[in-house]
Structure 1
């Protein structure tokens, strides 16, 4: 069963790729930032994935509330009696603890409300909303989050939510994100999930959140991860006993053959500060800036803004775009255009949802809708 997906705030399409590789059909892509859309198109061409059925929309999502064309696309899907979904992660700096903290009043914060309005207007069968945990942690942001959910409930959706960590899915990056999912009540009935009259939250245990999680955070946190080691360029360091190798930076650098990747030579070269690069210990990520990754540990959140300088574990430089893609757990053959500016390249990589987390969540939604069971029946 291939469910059509409309993607918003698509960036370079890490979230979309997880859905595509789970058997969903991304039919429409929306992204306002032209370099990101260029990267999206390039990556799909290299991966030999067909263009979306309804193409690309390069513009502000706010315009879509009044756009006739999008309405016609959705009418076409509805005429085919298709179950279809919306997926998107609105820009999050206004809710991030380390960001602007303007909340719903910020330009980015307003886009979360717009995305919810778009869902309520077009009523997809299901939706995914992704954002930072600041929406939960700060009281006024939490109030806004609850208001958005109430609006969704009033429009016939039953929701479930979870704070996920990409480590749980096998991605080598400590990245926490809120995932809010909503399903129309008629879809729940079709999928064999009966909910009580007036129920707006899926009962605990009904949505199989853990189906495609490889590790629990409790297990991960108990492991003897190395702390710091003296930095030595091009040094060797044996893998410690008792850790999960799949969750380490070194494993992914080798898995993706980052030294020979198309984006291997793309990294910022400092005008000054090389001396500082030489004295920061391997694994010292205690400061806001100039964090040196440890080869036998996972990376901190891959947010490559002006203040987030991530250094290579055993080279006297910042990490490359190829290495950042590996930390986002993308397939080795995923690439972005080499003529993208370094700022745009690192921003689009840092903004993306880690691929393995995207894949796991998509597979879990498919399980819930009965798609994987139907696939098994069709193959037998």
Structure 2
């Protein structure tokens, strides 16, 4: 299946969609450091990356007519700073809002499906009208804003059109959900908005994959069965005490309160237990990117991520580098920065994926990425659905081709 990706960054989403079976005809990324990371991995022959065609340029300058054939998936994570809770969150008033460029790509490529990832701040109450504006433009990408038309007036026009009986030449069915990566086996509590659209002529009835992992199951494996500690060969005397609030809860309601059906959340220890402590320089030096970075300290609001929990959200920029969200809190009470290799594990990058830049720049790229395994889960579901609907309609004449559909 053919795909195009915008705002590629260091490649987390692109690797996940490639693993799911999508072949990228073009990937567009402006940042030279992120492009350097991808090219370094291409030179190393890393799987799923070696044949990528990377365009180092602004998305606004990319010529979509150079992409041949019908595109099955358009994917990307438009820059999130306009909506980030930690940033200036200017939304539509922020020059970094790249959603209009994604709308343009949908109009020009007419993909069968698209996948967008963005920060949870996109769902803030302050942005609710603009989020509706985003979803309606994605649903009706050919209904462009008129010259000098404000986004509020354009939203009203989109609402009237959406509620009318007029059929689109190009329309999409939109589904969105706020997902916590930890609920899908990622060793990180990372909540992000995902928006998926399927072209209306496909007549799809798609929904997001259901979560596979739970906090309750992790509690069960730690404090009821002890399986978690046994898996990591932690003796009884070296295990931490059960939190008092949880003890009271279990004593009052019993262990059945937690349930045991799902798999447990994955923890930092699960993700990095096979890596030697980076302080042991002689041993750690043999592992790419596993370099100790001194100077970590704990302060209010930046206390690090406990070893036996999923990590707090890894962050990029001044809000996380340096910062507690990029620190490990050890059972001894000490804290230290995650190495680049550890952070990459927490974002589920392949173990041989290399980050050639400085610690700060690498952490920025990793913090901005989509967890690879979560991208794979969602993209696999999209792929399966496309296979199903396209095989069903093969030869029926129902599916139109991007070269034959007129523009409004």
Common fold, TM-score beyond 0.5?
Answer: yes
Partner of 2:106: 119
Deviation for aligned residue 1:148: 2.1
CA gap of 1:152–1:292, structure 2 versus 1, over 3 A, is closer
Q: 1:223 to 1:102 in 2, by over 3 A?
A: farther
Deviations 1:82-140 (A, max 9, x none): x521100011111012211111111222x12221222123211111111112111233x
Q: CA deviation at 1:357?
A: 0.8
**Residue matched to 2:65:** 71
Q: What does residue 57 of structure 1 align with?
A: 55
Structure 2: how far apart are the matches of 1:13 and 1:122? 21
| Residue of structure 1 in register with 2:132 after alignment | 146
Q: Tell me if the contact between 1:95 and 1:101 (Cα under 8 Å) persists in the aligned partners.
A: yes
- The 8 Å contact of residues 29 and 52 in structure 1, kept in 2 or not, is answered as no
Corresponding position of 1:311: 327
Q: Distance in 1 between matches of 2:241 and 2:388?
A: 40
Change (3 A) 1:142 1:117: farther
Asked if 1:131 corresponds to 2:154, the answer is no
Q: Which of residues 327, 331, 349 is equivalent to 2:346?
A: 327
Query: How far 1:220 moved relative to its partner?
Result: 6.0
Q: Which of 27, 35, 38 is the aligned partner of 2:36?
A: 38
Task: Give 3-state SS (helix, strand or coil) of 1:353's partner.
Answer: coil
Shift of 1:58: 0.6
8 A contact 2:327–2:335 mirrored in 1: yes
The alpha-carbon deviation at position 216 of structure 1 amounts to: 4.9
Q: CA 1:185 to 1:304, structure 2 compared with 1: closer, same or farther past 3 Å?
A: closer
Whether contact under 8 Å (2:213, 2:265) holds in the other structure is no
Structure 2 stretches lacking a partner, 5+ long: 142-170, 224-233, 243-257, 279-283, 392-408
CA distance in 2, matches of 1:303, 1:345: 11
Q: Give the RMSD, CA atoms, in angstroms.
A: 3.0
Partner Cα separation in structure 2 for residue 371 and residue 44 of structure 1:
33
- Alpha-carbon shift at residue 52 of structure 1 (Å): 4.1
Q: For 1:33 and 1:370, how far apart are their aligned partners in 2?
A: 34
Whole-angstrom CA distance in 1 between matches of 2:86 and 2:221: 28
Q: Residue 77 of structure 1 aligns to a residue in which SS?
A: coil
> Which of 172, 178, 184 is matched with 1:157 structurally?
172
Aligned counterpart, 1:351: 368
Larger radius of gyration: 2
Q: Indicate if the aligned counterparts of 2:218 and 2:265 stay in contact, CA closer than 8 A.
A: no
> Hey, what's the Cα distance between the residues in 2 that align with 1:174 and 1:50?
27
For residue 252 of structure 1, the aligned residue among 271, 276, 281 is 271
Question: Structure 1 length as normaliser, TM-score?
Answer: 0.75
Find the counterpart in structure 2 of residue 292 from structure 1: 304
The alpha-carbon deviation at position 294 of structure 1 amounts to 1.0
What is the match of residue 265 of structure 1? 291
**Does the 8 Å contact 1:249/1:299 carry over to 2?**
yes
Aligned partner of residue 289 in structure 2, secondary structure: coil
| Deviation (angstroms), 1:318 | 1.3
CA contact (8 A) 1:248 1:295 kept: yes
2:77 to 89, 113, 120: 89
Residues 183 and 265 of structure 2 are in contact (CA less than 8 Å); yes or no, is this contact kept in structure 1? no
CA offsets 1:279-333 (integer angstroms, 9 cap, x no match): x7xxxxxx433x2221110111110433421322336531111111111122222
